[in-house]
Amino acid sequence: MEEIQDTKHTIRNDMANAIDAFSAQEITEKTGQIETRLFEFANFLESNISLLYIHHGLEVNTRGILDRCLGYNKIVVLPAFNTETYQMKLMKVDNLSTDLKMGPRKILEPDLESCKIVPIERIDIAIIPGIALDEKGGRIGSGQGFYDRLIPKLPITTRKVSLAFEYQIIQQVPMESHDKYVDIIITEKRIIYKI
C-alpha cells in the first residue's frame, strides 16, 4: 500500500513537471479544445443537472465551462468540502460572482448560507477532477479521497466523466481497493470510453 502511495506521489510530481513545460497559451488552447469536446458530447448536452468542479492545481480549468453552463441555463452543482469528514455537500450555484466563497481547501466553493443542497440522485452527469488517468478509467486525484467517497453514491445512470490533457493519460494508474473509476475521459484530442 505504501508503495502504491509512493508511485502516486511520483506521478503527481511528473504531472506538475509536465504542466510546467507548457506555455500559458498552450494550456489555454488545450483547455478550449477540451471545453469544445465536452459541449459536443451528447451525454453532457442532454444533462440538466451537472456536477462540476472549481479547478485546483493540475486539474483542467473549468471556469469557461461553468460560465457556458450557466449561459445555457443548465443547473450547475458544485461541491462544498468538509475536511474533517472528507465528505461533500452538493450545492446549486446560480451566480459564480456571488454564490462562492473560499473554502477550507483554499478553493472557491458554494456558500452554504446562500446555496441550496441538491440530492445526489438528481445528478445527471458528474464531471470528476483528476491529475492522471488511464484508458480503463483509473484516476489519481488530489489524494484526499473526496471523489472516491462520492462516486459510489452517485446513481448508476449518472455518467462519471473526467477532463484531462492528453499528457495526463498514462499507461496504468496504480489503483487501491478504495479507488474508484470514471466512465469517460475527455481530452483535447479524443473521448475515451472506459475499456
Indicate the helix (H) or strand (E) that contains 91.
strand 87-93
Q: What is the mean pLDDT of residues 153-159?
A: 95
Q: Provide the whole-model pTM.
A: 0.93
What pLDDT, on a 0 to 100 scale, did the predictor assign at position 1?
A: 62
Q: Which domain holds residue 142?
A: 2-193
**Percent of the chain residues topping a pLDDT of 90:** 75
Task: Give one DSSP letter per residue of 33-52, joined into a string.
Answer: HHHHHHHH-HHHHH-SEEE-
For the stretch 135-149, pLDDT in tens is: 999 999 887 889 999
Q: What is the mean pLDDT of residues 107-115?
A: 93
Q: Which residue has the higher pLDDT, 3 or 128?
A: 128
* Alpha-carbon span 17 to 5, nearest angstrom: 19
Name the burial class of residue 87, with classes exposed (0-12), middle (13-18) and buried (19+) by CB atoms within 10 angstroms of its CB. Answer: middle
What pLDDT, on a 0 to 100 scale, did the predictor assign at position 20?
A: 85
* CATH number for the domain that contains residue 66: 3.40.50.10420
The residues, ordered by sequence, that sit 6+ positions from 60 with a Cβ below 8 Å of its Cβ are 31, 34, 129, 163, 164, 165
Please give the tally of structural domains in the chain.
1
Using an 8 Å Cβ cutoff, are 30 and 37 in contact? no
**Which has the closest alpha carbon to 79: 132, 147, 161?**
147
Q: Is the pLDDT of residue 86 over 90?
A: no
